[in-house]
Structure formats: structure tokens, C-alpha cells
Structure 1
């Protein structure tokens, strides 16, 4: 039977082993400050949204590839409007149900892209703020990076 007494005894055993130097049993972790965790949350959300954007694009590309249409650039200007006149690999136009499915997927893609922009705006605003985190980020910004977004996650560490 599990009780608070059993839990307390178990925790005491773990603490005694840690005190004796047995580090394989447990590890001490540092809990980040709420401001740092909040900055990490923005970065994590952006990463999830970027992965979701990729999934939507790939889904649309797979739907089109199944019809023999591999030359469509998803996300290019007016790509969705051009699909109505586009021809499949065997010369047909896209079926109405398939075109409707692609349009719905494109709406989800557009929503994710707007959300990515909102998160990026919030990240830039946080970097402009006069905080210790922003100071660290500005120092990291001076380092060469492959993309402007790669420096922000480092500042939150």
C-alpha cells in the first residue's frame, strides 16, 4: 500500500545515497528562472510551428504528387489559384474533392505561417527589452550565425 510515509522513506533513502556520493541514483538539477523559461517557451513554440508548417507543406505536396503534379511550388505567389487550371500527370484537372482538401490544408498552412510571424515579432520585442536575457541575446547576436533566429534560443540557456 502506498502512503506518504512510504514515499517519505523512499525519498530519505535516495537523499542518503546522494549524500554518500552515489550520483547514479539521482541528479541535482537547476530550475530555470521564470523569465528564462518564458523565453524558452517562445522558442519551443516557434519550433513546433515550423515543424507543423513543414508537415502541412509536405501533405499538400504528397496530395499533388499522387496526381502526377510535382512541379507545383507550395507557398509561391498564387500557387493555390493556379491549381484550378493545372493539369494532372494524365492531363485531367484536379477533382473537386481533392482541390477542396488542398484548399483546407492551405488554410491551415496560412494560419501556422501567421502564428510563426506573431511568435517572431514577440521574440524580437523581447530582445529589444532592457533585461539580462536581452543583453545576453544582443551579445550572441554579434556572433556569426547561419540564420537570424538561431541566436535567440542560445540566449535563453
Structure 2
């Protein structure tokens, strides 16, 4: 299995832009796995493993999070791109805190993330959002840009009908 680890800018928006460009360029997306790990600048940060026909792409040093509204918009931007390439049904998340993997070789880091039993993100996006808080609590829809999340969920439902 070919795994390419991407070095990312230290900014959340810069990291999100790199992830979005790789999703746009990937051919034959099989899965996009999201996980939340303990982080330094934010309490939790996102690890992403993009699995496609031509190989897998690992983003395990991102500072991307959903702990504040501006950061949530960056995550929504990633999902807008996932929607644009027709892969919303391939977006899954790890319903547990993942370890930091950047100190492992890329193939080992990817295997660690793949060893979890993922859950689909849509239509239960609030379950996904809960991985970004300490006790995995499902917060009120008022805490999020819920209309954007529901629109993404609706698009997935319409495409599967």
C-alpha cells in the first residue's frame, strides 16, 4: 500500500487548503477517515486519511479542529469539496480519541487509523462533531452551523434515493 504523508502549513486554513486540493485531485476515492487527537495549540486536532485508487494520503499533523466557529467553517469547507467530488458517502470518522501518529512511519500511522471501526458522518454529523470535545458530548444544534451540516446531509440523502 502506497502512503504519502503531507507536510502541512501550521495554520488551520493553510492545512485545510492542502487537504481540499488533494481531495480534488484524488481519483477513485474509497474512504476519507477523520479522527481527533490530542493537540497542543487546540485541545483536539484532526487527523485525516484519504484512501483512493492510486494510493493513500495521510494528514496527521493538521491543526484543523472544530472547537470554535471559524474552525468549524474550515471543516465545512473540506466537506464542501468532498461533496463536489461525490464522496460524502465515503466520509467516515473514528468514534474515539486517536493517538498522535506523526512520529511513526506513514504506513504504520495509516494502519493505526485504519484499525479503528469507523462510523459514517452523514446524516449523524453531530456524532462526528462530538469527537472534538472532551467527553464526546452531543451538543445542541445551536452550537454549530447546523443549516450547512443539514444541507450536506440532505445532499447525501438525495443522492442515495
| Same fold flag (TM > 0.5) | no
Structure with the higher helix share, 1 or 2: 1
TM bucket by the smaller chain? under 0.3
Whose Rg is larger?
1
TM-score, structure 1 as length reference: 0.21
TM-score, structure 2 as length reference: 0.21
